[in-house]
Each structure stands twice: as C-alpha cells, then as structure tokens.
Chains A and B, each alone.
Chain A
Amino acid sequence: MSAELMRERYEIQGGNFDTAGEISGEIKIILRDLGIDAASLRRVVVVAFEAEMNLVMYARRGTLTFILTDEEVNLEILDEGPGIPDLELAFQEGYTTATDEMRELGFGFGMGLPNMKRNSDELKIETEVGKGTSVFARIRLDAHE
C-alpha cells in the first residue's frame, strides 16, 4: 500500500455549466506543479473532466475527491442523481441519453464513459437508479504510452 500524499475534495453543483470542468483544470495545475509526467497527468485530467461534466449534466449535486499517492491517483466521484439504468449500454461508444442542451455544449456524443475507461487503469462504477452514481478510477503514475 502506497502512502497517501494529498487528498482534496471538491463539491460540484449539478446543472452549473458555467463552472463545469474548472475542478479538473485545478487538478491539472496541482499535478503539473508536482512534476507528474505528462502522459499520466493527461490520463488523470481526462478522467476527472469527463466525470465532472457527466455529474454537472446529469446529477443534482456531488463530490469529486482526488487522492494522490506516490504510485497512483485515485478519483472518487459520487453523485446524487438519476443513476444509470444500463451500465453496459452506457459504456458503448456512441450511446447517449444526452439532451440537445448538452450537445450544444459539445458533450453527450456517447464518448465520455469510453474515454474514462480508456484513460484509467481501473474503473469501477456503482449506480442505483433514482439515487445516484459512484465512480472510482485508479490511474497509475508510472509512464504510459
């Protein structure tokens, strides 16, 4: 078990498109300032950003917790929202339940969850319809690509 070096918890308000994505931008600055290698940094922030956008688009509210160890970053995104009725379908590239408003923002083309999976070393999603969704992503910090 590697030692925890940093833990930050951010509150996210659903429906607030104006600030959506800001937290992932902050995480990018933290990781860059720590000198984390570019490929790992990119993977972490893509997962964080897609998760943050999903939360803002679909949920009422939630939190994103960022946990840094000397070996990996763990992201925990917990929301109070509609949940995902069919997870397998949601992971299919191109499948979407997005509204026109979400598409006008440039999201909701059915690539968010696939992007998160592609950039995580481990991705676990727990969801309950009508209650919410929890996303746990682990991204190793040793060189990728």
Chain B
Amino acid sequence: MKLHDIGDILQCEVLTEGDDLAVDVQYVVASDGMSEILAFAKSKELMITGLTNVQAIRTADIAGVSAVIFCRGKRPDARVIEVAKKKRIPVLVTKMVMFDICAILYNKGLKGVS
C-alpha cells in the first residue's frame, strides 16, 4: 500500500512536506521501545510510535524504515522534524491510538515483522 493512501486512511497530517509519499509499504513495526524497533525491523517498514523525541528519528534512520507515523496526536518539535527532513524520512502524525492504527492496517493487508 502506498504511504499516501495509508496517510489518508489514518487521517494523517504530513509533517515533512516534499518527501516521497508514493513509497510502497508492506510491513509495519510498531512500538514505543526503540530497541524493539531495531530488533524487528529489517528494512523499508512503516514505523509507528508514540515516542516523538529525536531518538525516534535516529532509530528510524538506523533501522532503515520507509516512514514514521506518530500516534495519539503527539507532535514532535521543529528540531525533530528538521532531523527527519535531513535524513529524508517522511513523518506523519495521526490522532488515532496505536491499537486502532495497527488494526486498520492489518485489515488492509499489511503485515507485522517478527
């Protein structure tokens, strides 16, 4: 599924305008624990997290994910978005909670990683 379609379904706001939202996503990794993201992500997953500090973006970069969606309407500060832009990682935010996001994406055929 294309990232822009996921963004529409989850009613996301895109925080890094200009990034490639046409990227295709098939797998999802969702956690507030950064080592858990690093343990399970293989590459190109969509990362969902409620952690909005700069470590979330650094973890996303190290894990090689395609994009980050912040859940529960939590917005990172401007400096975090700047780091994401520099790393060319699309960042979106939705008001939905992680459980609902995962359920919706699962029903759309996306898979988790383990």
- Interface SS, B side: helix
What string of 1s and 0s marks CB contacts (under 8 Å) between B57-101 and chain A?
011011110000000000000000000000100000000000000
Interface locus among A72-80, A111-119, A123-131: A111-119
Give the number of residue pairs across the A-B interface with Cβ within 8 Å.
Answer: 67
**B61 contacts A28, CB within 8 Å?**
yes
**Chain A interface (Cβ within 8 Å of chain B)?**
17-18, 20-22, 24-25, 28, 38, 42, 45-46, 49-50, 53, 105-107, 109, 111-112, 114-115, 118
* Bound-state Cα–Cα, A25 to B55, Å: 11
Given A49-B38, A50-B38: A105 in contact with B53 (beta carbons within 8 A)? yes
**Chain B interface (Cβ within 8 Å of chain A)?**
32-36, 38-39, 42-43, 49, 51, 53-56, 58-59, 61-64, 87
**B58 contacts A25, CB within 8 Å?**
yes
Given A106-B56, A111-B33, A115-B39: A49 in contact with B64 (beta carbons within 8 A)? no
* Bound-state Cα–Cα, A21 to B56, Å: 10
**A107 contacts B39, CB within 8 Å?**
no
Q: Which residue of A has the minimal Cβ distance to B32?
A: A106
* Bound-state Cα–Cα, A104 to B61, Å: 19
**A45 contacts B43, CB within 8 Å?**
no
Closest chain A CB from B32 CB (angstroms): 6
- Interface SS, A side: helix
Closest chain B CB from A110 CB (angstroms): 8
**B64 contacts A42, CB within 8 Å?**
yes
Centre residue among A17, A106, A111 by max chain B CB count within 10 A: A106
**A50 contacts B35, CB within 8 Å?**
yes
**B62 contacts A49, CB within 8 Å?**
yes
